[in-house]
Chains A and B, each alone.
Chain A
Amino acid sequence: MLSFSKSLIASAVAGGCIVCGAAVATVTAKGVEYKDVADMLIAVMVADRTVYTKKVVQRLAAKQKVIKASEHYDDDKALPLPAQMFRFGAEHVADNTDKFSYSLLSLWPINKQNAPRTDAEKAGLKYVADNNGKNYYGEETLGGQKYFTAVYADVAVAKVCASCHNDHKDTPRSDFKVGDVMGGVVIRIPMAN
């Protein structure tokens, strides 16, 4: 179980940690660029993550102290961590549409299932880790289907992102510090042939 203070501070900061592309999307009668769609999607994801973090976890756990946040939220009768909330959303989307999919991954994952698997994921996570503030856009073919794949950095915006990950028993890396890229959000959109 994760400790109380760690998770609540984490939640306080998790909201603002995804660096977002600021380009203006143009919607025309012909359609929207894949890149713009991905940028729009990440904007919604960041918004939802921020709202959950601030209005739910931070308010109820940090400020009003009525409930904790925990990895084993069900057994511990606690709130899910923002990273889990993010994944549940992704799974819910996958249940309902195959028009896009997304996940929160890292080159140094606590949960080994969050390690990059495809070449684009590997390249994208490396790119956003090495190029501060920039997003990665690429294409890849998986199972015969071509995808537009965008990767957005997920940054340790506060000490607690780093400390919780550094102290977690399953972390492969324990020298995260504020400002480090800890991972990235991968958005995948199947491309028309």
Chain B
Amino acid sequence: MSSTAKLWLLWVMVTLVAAAVLLTGMFYGGPSRATLLIGETTSGHHQIELACGACHTTPFAGPEAIEKTCQGCHADELKAAKDSHPLKKFRDPRNVDRLDKLAANKCITCHTEHRADITNPMGVTLPTDYCALCHQDVGKNRPSHEGLAFNTCATAGCHNYHDNRALYEDFLEKHAGEPDVKAKPVVALNTEKIEIEAAGEPLTTAAAADAPAAHRGGADVMSEWLATSHAAAGVNCSGCHAQDQKSAEAIAENWIAKPNHKTCATCHTMETATWLQGKHGMRLADNMLSETAGLYGMFQNRPLTPMRTEFARAPMQSKLPHSELTCTSCHGAHDFNTVKAQTDSCKSCHDDEHTRAYEGSPHHKLWLAESSGAAAKGSGVSCATCHMPRAWMEDESGYEEFLAANHNQNANLRPNEKMIRSVCMNCHGLGFSIDALADKELIKRNFDGRPSARIESIDWVMKRVKERGSK
């Protein structure tokens, strides 16, 4: 063989090997996958970007299949948000011409992934004046809106595409003129006692602990456990470390040193389910595989690892690299201190202006007063009060509702008007809440001060009410 032919052969071989490596990375995962990302993912999905199959269920799945996966994770949230533009609005054939202008029956029309160059807040990849496509003639019925720029509809604090629970006209009218701080500023749901189903006899002494000798914790562990509502509700060591085991031998044999979120989910179903939807737990949701089994055993099913601070895009403390985020990261392993979990745990990772400004803020002072027992239950404002508030949530069957802390921090965060009804309006008037949430600097100062912005939506509504009255 001539040397040219040899070179050609070598070139072909190298190309084939390289292609094979890349293709297997694409189909099965593994180390080469990260290099294959077709563009930076949005902040909503970056944590699971290497679990390609979460959205691209099959390698050549079309847009329809992707849509299904959007719904799979986000449908409940949209329902809870009383989505103003639900899919069902666009099924009627009378709207087909509208769909030609904007396929509003598809999530990916407005939210295209892997397009960092055109991604706006909320993961919107359309130019921000998209409202004009259908609501061009809004000025006809709302003279006040005549001449307003369409890129301000969803950015001026007045409207959202999906969630308008706190922004619709009659709601603004009903809550116009409310004081900045209400007469009885208390978060109502935080005053409610959550009933524990299937609670057993309280366990009150370390002697009652059923951990086998080899795994028995020290006195500190025992006293932490005895102080919890776990012990008070009869949840023994085996309740978490060896579930469903009765005899001492069975407990010893099936002992799990570090129970994971699935163990917690046995009792804390809603908390875990929502945690898996949010940024803290989404990497651990079902079917988040960074590698899929195949190719004659060369690849195995490998779930994503738990979240770590160095994966985050939001500013984090640098002192905690490689510590994995699980239930116990915030709740502790045996003391399950909910007071700590509501502020200190957050601060142990998060390191942004808003977090740093919490200490000493008015909300923090209220929280100190409540947690020291000086002020009424529900009057304090911890990180969790706003970011993981309690909510009534439907279980999977859709037949029952449970009151639980919503551990999906995102369910109540963006757009931030989502918080108005679930949180702010427990204590503040609607107008004040809207203004405060529109003031970025005030948010950075963790609401230490007064809103400098004034969103005029309530004024406009009241002007319209007045005009109507004088007609």
Contact = CB atoms under 8 A, between A and B. Distances in A.
A72 interface: yes
Contacts of A95: 88, 91
Contacts of B23: none
A175 interface: no
A72 B468 CA distance: 20
A117 B92 CA distance: 12
Interface stretch (B94-102, B182-190, B249-257): B94-102
Interface of B: 82, 88-89, 91-97, 99-100, 141, 170-171, 174, 464-465, 468
B170 A142 contact: no
Contacts of B465: 169
Given A143-B97, A169-B464, A101 B170 contact: no
Contact of A101 (B93, B97, B99): B93
A113 B88 CA distance: 14
Interface string A156-193: 00000000000001101000000000000010101000
Given A95-B91, A113-B89, A172-B141, 9 more contacts: A1-B170, A1-B174, A74-B82, A91-B88, A92-B88, A121-B94, A143-B99, A143-B100, A147-B93
A188 B170 contact: no
Contact of A94 (B88, B97, B141): B88
A142 B96 contact: yes
Interface string A91-124: 1101100100101000000001100011001000
Nearest to A72: B170
B94 A117 contact: yes
B91 A142 contact: no
**Majority DSSP secondary structure for residues of B touching A:** helix
Nearest to B99: A143
A172 B140 CA distance: 11
A101 B96 CA distance: 13
Interface of A: 1, 71-72, 74-75, 90-92, 94-95, 98, 101, 103, 112-113, 117-118, 121, 142-143, 145, 147, 169-170, 172, 186, 188, 190
Given A1-B174, A75-B171, A188 B94 contact: yes
Contacts of A71: 170
A188 B91 CA distance: 12
A6 to B, nearest CB: 15
Contacts of B93: 101, 142-143, 145, 147, 188, 190
Nearest to B467: A169
Contacts of A117: 94-95, 97
Contacts of B91: 91, 94-95, 98, 101
B120 to A, nearest CB: 26
A91 B88 CA distance: 6
Given A75-B171, A169-B468, A103 B96 contact: no
| Interface hub of B94, B171, B468 (most chain A Cβ within 10 A) | B94
Contacts of B100: 143
A112 B170 CA distance: 16
A167 B243 CA distance: 63
B460 to A, nearest CB: 13
A101 B92 contact: yes
Identify the 7 closest CB pairs spanning chains A and B, nearest first. A143-B96, A94-B91, A91-B88, A142-B93, A142-B96, A101-B92, A117-B94
Given A71-B170, A72-B170, A91-B88, A142 B468 contact: no
Contacts of B95: 117
A163 to B, nearest CB: 15
A143 B91 CA distance: 12
A123 to B, nearest CB: 14
B94 A142 contact: yes
Contacts of A101: 91-94
A1 B89 CA distance: 23
Residue among B89, B93, B97, B464 having the largest count of chain A Cβ atoms under 10 Å = B93
Contacts of A143: 93, 96-97, 99-100
Nearest to B468: A169
Contacts of B468: 169
Nearest to B93: A142
22 contacts: A1-B174, A71-B170, A72-B170, A72-B171, A91-B89, A94-B91, A95-B88, A101-B91, A101-B93, A101-B94, A103-B92, A112-B141, A113-B89, A117-B94, A117-B97, A118-B94, A121-B94, A142-B94, A142-B96, A143-B93, A143-B100, A190-B93
B55 to A, nearest CB: 23
